[in-house]
Amino acid sequence: MFQMSKLYHNFHHTKNSVFSFVFLLPLFLLLLLACNGFSVFYINLSVPAKTSPEPANLLPEILPGDKPVKKLSSSSVMYAVKEENPSLNLKTHLSLIQKPNISMVSKPKKQPHRFRPQTLKALQLRTTKTTKGFTFSTKLRAFFQNSNCKLHFFMTWISSLHSLSHRELLVIESVFKSNPKACLVIVSTSLDSPKGNAVLKPFLNMGFNLITVSPDFDSIFKHTYAETWFNRLKTGNINPGEVSLGQNLSNLLRLVLLYKYGGVYIDTDVIVLKSFNNLSNVIGAQSMNIETKTWSRLNNAVLVFDKHHPLLYKFIQEFALTFDGNKWGHNGPYLVSRVVGRVTNRPGFNFTVLPPPAFYPVDWSRIRSLFREPNNRIQSDWLRRKLEQIRTQSYAVHLWNRQSKDVRVEEGSIVHHIISDCCIFCNISTSSL
């Protein structure tokens, strides 16, 4: 009886165990599946490895003469980056990392544009020494001493001789018509030649002080910021850019010439109307802000400065430190505007900004109007008033050759009247200008 009771008890215990096992088995399998799934997702989730950032190069290159600049610490650099680039949330960050079809191969760096000596040769701006053993500087000093001139004018001609037109010759006439005792230096390889001298011989026959000199950049730029910039250009460490290299060299050349010798620089499309004897340390505004009555843009087509003027030093320094050969005007009109805007009202810089009528009485966008004859009473009245304003207020007129070189001078136009006022030989047909 006791055995039967024991068997009956074991049977019920086994039955309950089986029912418990059958009941818990699904829960166990679900739990096992969940754990396995979690491990799969955990293993396959790609997390980018944490790498130390490369130090950012935030400091400008230091040229000779600059004060050393204290470098930023790594923490300050990272803080600057963080401020400029707000952090992304995790979802966006992971989606960017896991985005498919993105090539991780870095593109090869573009090689710097190598300086080619033939580039200067094509621009008639070779680095050369003048004839008979005289360097550029010694030839200029001898010219100034022998001429005993009261004022030095400088021009640059970067093109070939056959590109020289009657318009450029008229500009030379205008210089001597208003400043007969001045000296004019034309820095040009093409004009410093037998054929170039033949073209300019009529001026020498009239007794005017005129000289053409081929540029020797190593001599001209020596002991200035321009020297360092030019050396880097020659070694291929500066990209000349898409803008004409000759134009940018002219922008720099005029600054260094005035810094070393002092005087007046004018572009070859600037007709001089008055004596410059009373002008000293001036630069002209191209445009003005009507509301504030202050200049909004300056121009470097006409510059009048004393030798070693500090503003010229700043111009040259700005050119060397911020040169950009891909932006038109960046190293010219915009450069002088930037620097003057920074040094205005600072002690030690004594100069005057003349209003637009002084050198730029007509903006480049309206220069063609000066070449046209009037067709009605309204145009005639405007021409008369404008011509009177130019004759009384302007020292020179910039013709903006880029916009007007193909425009014919019409009889009775403002330019026609100006030519009659400033010509010396006066035997050239106005249509040829």
pLDDT digits (tens, 9 = 90+) for 39-77: 433 433 333 333 333 333 323 333 333 333 333 233 322
Q: Is residue 87 domain-resident?
A: no
When pLDDT is averaged across residues 364-380 and rounded to a whole number, the result is 94
| Residue 295, Cβ density class (10 Å: 0-12 exposed, 13-18 middle, ≥19 buried) | buried
Q: What is the pLDDT of residue 67?
A: 36
Residue 406: pLDDT above 60? yes
For residue 206, the enclosing domain spans 117-126+134-358
Q: Is residue 286 domain-resident?
A: yes
Length, in residues, of the chain: 433
pLDDT over 70 for what percent of the chain?
68
Residue 212 Cα distances to 121, 192, 413, angstroms: 17, 5, 33
Q: Is residue 15 domain-resident?
A: no
Q: Following DSSP, what letter does each residue of 318-343 receive, concatenated?
A: HHHHH--TTSTTTTTHHHHHHHHHHH
When pLDDT is averaged across residues 268-281 and rounded to a whole number, the result is 97
Q: In CATH, what number is assigned to the domain containing residue 278?
A: 3.90.550.20
Q: What is the pLDDT of residue 135?
A: 84
How many CA atoms lie less than 13 Å away from 45 in the CB half-sphere?
9
Least confident stretch, 43-47, 87-91, 192-196, 356-360: 87-91
Residue 116: pLDDT above 60? no
Q: Is residue 336 domain-resident?
A: yes
Q: Following DSSP, what letter does each residue of 195-242 receive, concatenated?
A: HHHHHHHHHHHTT-EEEEE---HHHHSTTSHHHHHHHHHHTT-S---S
Torsion of CA 224, 226, 232, 233, to 10 degrees: -160
Q: Is residue 235 domain-resident?
A: yes
Q: What is the pLDDT of residue 23?
A: 55
Q: What is the mean pLDDT of the chain?
A: 78
Q: Is residue 4 domain-resident?
A: no
Query: What domain count does the chain have?
Result: 1
Q: Is residue 206 domain-resident?
A: yes
Q: What is the pLDDT of residue 311?
A: 98
Residue 5: pLDDT above 90? no
Query: What is the 8-class DSSP label of residue 133?
Result: G
Q: Is residue 234 domain-resident?
A: yes
Model pLDDT for residues 180-200, shown as the tens digit of each residue: 999 999 999 999 999 999 999
> Of 63, 120, 116, whose CA–CA distance to 323 is shortest?
63
